[in-house]
Chain A
Amino acid sequence: MHGSYFPELEKGDILSSPSFILIVLSIIAIPAVFRWLFPGLISTRSLKGLSVAGGILILWEIISALGLVNPVLLPPPGRVFSNIVYMWAIGFLQPQIVSTLFRLTYAFILALLSAVPLGILASYSPKYFSPLEPLVNAARVIPAPAWLSLSILWFGMGHASAIFIIWLACFFPIFLNTVAGVSKVEPAQVETVLTFGGNKFDVLVEVILPVSYHHIVTGARIGLGIGWITLVTAELVSVDIGSGLGWMINDSRILLDTTTVLSGIILIGIFGTITDTVLKRFEGLVQGWS
Chain B
Amino acid sequence: MSIVSGGMAGITFVRHLSGKMMPEKVYRVLVVWALFLFLWEGSLYAGIFKSMLLAPPTAVLEKTFYFLEKGYLQINIAASLSRFLAGFAIAIIVAVPSGIAFGLSRGLYEWLSPVLNFIRMIPPPAMLPFVIILLGIGETPAVFVIAIGCFFPVFMNTMRGVREVETIHVEVVQTMGGGRADLLRHVIIPSAMPTILTGVRIGFGIGWLVLVCAEVVAADSGLGFMIEGARLLLETPTVFVGMATICVLGLTMDILLKRVEKFFILRNGGGYLNYREG
The reply to whether the CB of B89 lies closer than 8 angstroms to some CB of chain A is no
Which single residue of chain B is at the shortest CB-CB distance from A56? B115
Question: A283 → chain B, closest Cβ, in Å?
Answer: 16
Is B32 a contact partner of A135 (Cβ separation < 8 A)? yes
Question: B243 → chain A, closest Cβ, in Å?
Answer: 5
Which single residue of chain A is at the shortest CB-CB distance from B31? A131
Is B239 a contact partner of A153 (Cβ separation < 8 A)? yes
Interface of A is mostly: helix
Complexed CA–CA distance, A222 and B110 (Å):
24
Which single residue of chain A is at the shortest CB-CB distance from B223? A146
From B117, B224, B231, A153 is in contact (CB under 8 Å) with: B231
From B129, B133, B216, B251, A148 is in contact (CB under 8 Å) with: B216
Is B208 a contact partner of A229 (Cβ separation < 8 A)? no
Interface centre among A134, A135, A145, A153 (most CB of B within 10 A): A145
Question: A27 → chain B, closest Cβ, in Å?
Answer: 14
Measured between beta carbons, the chain A residues less than 8 angstroms from B223 are: 146
Which single residue of chain B is at the shortest CB-CB distance from A258? B133
Stretch from B12-20, B118-126, B170-178, B179-187 contacting the other chain: B118-126
Complexed CA–CA distance, A233 and B214 (Å):
8
Is B126 a contact partner of A246 (Cβ separation < 8 A)? yes
Question: B15 → chain A, closest Cβ, in Å?
Answer: 16
Is A229 a contact partner of B33 (Cβ separation < 8 A)? no
Complexed CA–CA distance, A245 and B246 (Å):
28
From A142, A150, A226, A232, B126 is in contact (CB under 8 Å) with: A232
Is B216 a contact partner of A149 (Cβ separation < 8 A)? yes
From B53, B119, B240, A154 is in contact (CB under 8 Å) with: B53
| Interface magnitude class on chain A | 35 or more
The reply to whether the CB of A141 lies closer than 8 angstroms to some CB of chain B is yes
The reply to whether the CB of B263 lies closer than 8 angstroms to some CB of chain A is no
From A49, A134, A154, A228, B114 is in contact (CB under 8 Å) with: A49
The reply to whether the CB of B3 lies closer than 8 angstroms to some CB of chain A is no
Do A236 and B212 contact each other (CB < 8 Å), given the known contacts A258-B133, A272-B122? no
Measured between beta carbons, the chain B residues less than 8 angstroms from A228 are: 123
Which single residue of chain B is at the shortest CB-CB distance from A266? B122
Complexed CA–CA distance, A135 and B254 (Å):
16
The reply to whether the CB of A30 lies closer than 8 angstroms to some CB of chain B is no
The reply to whether the CB of A143 lies closer than 8 angstroms to some CB of chain B is yes
The reply to whether the CB of A66 lies closer than 8 angstroms to some CB of chain B is no
| Interface magnitude class on chain B | 35 or more
Is B209 a contact partner of A265 (Cβ separation < 8 A)? no
Measured between beta carbons, the chain B residues less than 8 angstroms from A236 are: 125, 128-129, 213, 217
Measured between beta carbons, the chain B residues less than 8 angstroms from A246 are: 125-126
Measured between beta carbons, the chain A residues less than 8 angstroms from B217 are: 233, 236-237, 250
Question: B24 → chain A, closest Cβ, in Å?
Answer: 12
Do A52 and B112 contact each other (CB < 8 Å), given the known contacts A143-B212, A269-B121? yes
Question: A226 → chain B, closest Cβ, in Å?
Answer: 7
Measured between beta carbons, the chain A residues less than 8 angstroms from B118 are: 53, 269, 273
Measured between beta carbons, the chain B residues less than 8 angstroms from A134 are: 28-29, 32-33
The reply to whether the CB of B264 lies closer than 8 angstroms to some CB of chain A is no
Is A273 a contact partner of B209 (Cβ separation < 8 A)? no
Is A233 a contact partner of B125 (Cβ separation < 8 A)? yes
Which single residue of chain B is at the shortest CB-CB distance from A151? B231
Complexed CA–CA distance, A264 and B228 (Å):
24
The reply to whether the CB of B236 lies closer than 8 angstroms to some CB of chain A is yes
Complexed CA–CA distance, A73 and B129 (Å):
11
From A44, A138, A147, A237, B251 is in contact (CB under 8 Å) with: A138
In residues 103-154 of chain B, which contact A (Cβ within 8 Å)?
Answer: 110-115, 117-119, 121-130, 132-134, 149
Which single residue of chain A is at the shortest CB-CB distance from B107? A48
Is A269 a contact partner of B122 (Cβ separation < 8 A)? yes
Complexed CA–CA distance, A242 and B113 (Å):
35
From B130, B208, B209, B228, A258 is in contact (CB under 8 Å) with: B130
Complexed CA–CA distance, A148 and B206 (Å):
16
The reply to whether the CB of B266 lies closer than 8 angstroms to some CB of chain A is no
Interface string of B227-264 (1 = CB under 8 A from A): 11011001010011011001100110010000000000
Complexed CA–CA distance, A145 and B211 (Å):
9
From A138, A150, A232, A269, B125 is in contact (CB under 8 Å) with: A232
The reply to whether the CB of B66 lies closer than 8 angstroms to some CB of chain A is no
Is A146 a contact partner of B242 (Cβ separation < 8 A)? yes
Do A150 and B239 contact each other (CB < 8 Å), given the known contacts A73-B134, A237-B228? yes
Is A265 a contact partner of B127 (Cβ separation < 8 A)? yes
From B124, B129, B227, B239, A253 is in contact (CB under 8 Å) with: B129
Do A144 and B209 contact each other (CB < 8 Å), given the known contacts A236-B128, A268-B123? yes
Measured between beta carbons, the chain B residues less than 8 angstroms from A146 are: 212, 216, 223-224, 227, 242-243, 246
CB pairs A–B below 8 angstroms (7 shown)? A45-B114, A52-B115, A146-B212, A146-B227, A146-B242, A150-B236, A229-B213
User: 16 more A-B contacts (CB under 8 A) besides A49-B111, A147-B243?
Assistant: A45-B110, A46-B114, A52-B111, A135-B36, A145-B209, A148-B228, A153-B53, A153-B234, A232-B125, A233-B125, A237-B217, A237-B228, A249-B126, A249-B130, A268-B123, A269-B119
